[in-house]
Amino acid sequence: TPRVFSGMQPSGDLHLGNYLGAMKRWVDMQDAGQHETVYCMVDLHAITATLLDPDTLRQNTRELCAGFIAAGIDPEKSILINQSQVPEHAQLAWIFNCIARMGWMGRMTQWKDKAGKNAEAASLGLLAYPALMAADILIYHATHVPVGEDQKQHLELTRDIAAKFNHDYGVEFFPIVEPVIEGVATRVMNLQDGTKKMSKSDPSDKSRINMTDDADTIARKIRKAKTDPDPLPGDVDGLAGRPDARNLVNIYAALAEIEPQAVLDQHAGALFGHFKAALADVAVAKLSPISEEMARLMDDPAEIDRILGRGAERAREITVPILEQTYDIIGMIRS
Ligand code: TYM
């Protein structure tokens, strides 16, 4: 069976974009049963931009694990892991650091955004970030990677690294991965500005819905979301040039698991005041059970650590042999 891999940073503040663009789709792929699924908290990536306080990193990682499980990832059906507990990720990343070219890394938009004008002061890990991401995926020989739109460039780099490794050593060893960027929620937008993506780095908390927001907070943020004065159109073409309106319709569609056109069929002609109340109901119905379950799981951190330990054991049944073969291809002595 083909294998799926995807990861998320334990940087705190899980938001609706992470849920609709990634987690929810991971659960769908797990439940469809067409693939073996591996899902990962990438703690090694989480320290690339800035070092976190150690207790905060531990707390964020457990909270993310609780979020995955609460959203429907079943640690029996999927392999659920924390990156640093499966050391082969970092070991393969070193090899990929020697495959990837400086020029490729410098062209990554995430690097340019995060390092900004002061690249001299950025960590070497931030530059190498995408090579570690390639290793995350390829240490499982995974072929399908469900992510949001913003990860597309990193997955192209993953393909380039695999192709160069295979070419340089004259082997057909690493697969060329397929990004899985599908559905209406691969780019959930900022509630205060429909031309920017929803992100944890926006200073305004009103710009996003956090997975831990309570029902009142969710309803208030949706009520205050930016919109235009026109009523909802009758078809999706009518959303052209209306990014804020389109975003709310897409969020509704993704949460209710229907097409955007079906949302408009139900709400054509409605004013936003009315539509937002309906959207808040759908959002609260979907998200509240997840945040309650997350809180419940967080009451037992030892159980979360046990799940991660078991996940790492299962993962290493796959990663240890693939690393051994890689070292062998390269000419490193195994004795
Ligand atoms: P991260 O932690 O920033 O985001 C996790 C996932 O959430 C998606 N996402 C969104 N989707 C739709 N709309 C949004 N507004 C939105 N914001 C975030 C992201 O696209 C992502 O799928 N580099 C990765 C983590 C990673 C990884 C990997 C992913 C490390 N190794 C291997 C896939 C495979 C990252 O920082 O995602």
pLDDT per residue as tens digits for the range 240-276 = 999 999 999 999 999 999 999 999 999 999 999 999 9
pLDDT at residue 207, as a whole number: 98
pLDDT in tens, 81-127: 999 999 999 999 999 999 999 999 999 999 999 998 899 999 999 99
* Ligand 1-lining residues (CB < 6 angstroms): 5-9, 17-18, 21-22, 42, 45, 133, 136-137, 145, 147-148, 150-151, 154, 185-188, 197-199
pLDDT at 166 over 90: yes
Compute the average pLDDT of residues 196-213.
95
Residue 312's pLDDT is 98
* pLDDT reported for residue 141: 98
What pLDDT does residue 13 have? 85
- For ligand 1, atom 18: residue with the closest CA: 18
* Nearest protein CA to atom 27 of ligand 1, as residue: 7
* Model pLDDT for residues 2-50, shown as the tens digit of each residue: 999 999 999 988 999 999 999 999 999 999 999 999 999 999 999 999 9
Q: What is the mean pLDDT of the chain?
A: 97
- 276 catalytic? Reply is no
The answer to whether 117 is a known catalytic residue is no
Q: Which long-range contacts (CB under 8 A, 24 or more apart) does 156-162 make?
A: 157/100, 157/104, 157/108, 157/130, 157/131, 157/133, 158/130, 158/133, 158/134, 160/100, 160/104, 161/96, 161/99, 161/100, 161/131, 161/134, 162/134, 162/138
- Residues 317 and 319: their CA atoms lie apart, in Å, by 6
State residue 308's pLDDT score. Answer: 98
Residue 227: pLDDT band with limits 50, 70, 90: very high
Residues 196-222 have a mean pLDDT of 96
* Residue 69 neighbours by CB distance under 10 Å: 20
Q: Ligand 1 pocket check: which of 42, 60, 65, 196 to mutate, most ligand atoms within 8 Å of Cβ?
A: 42
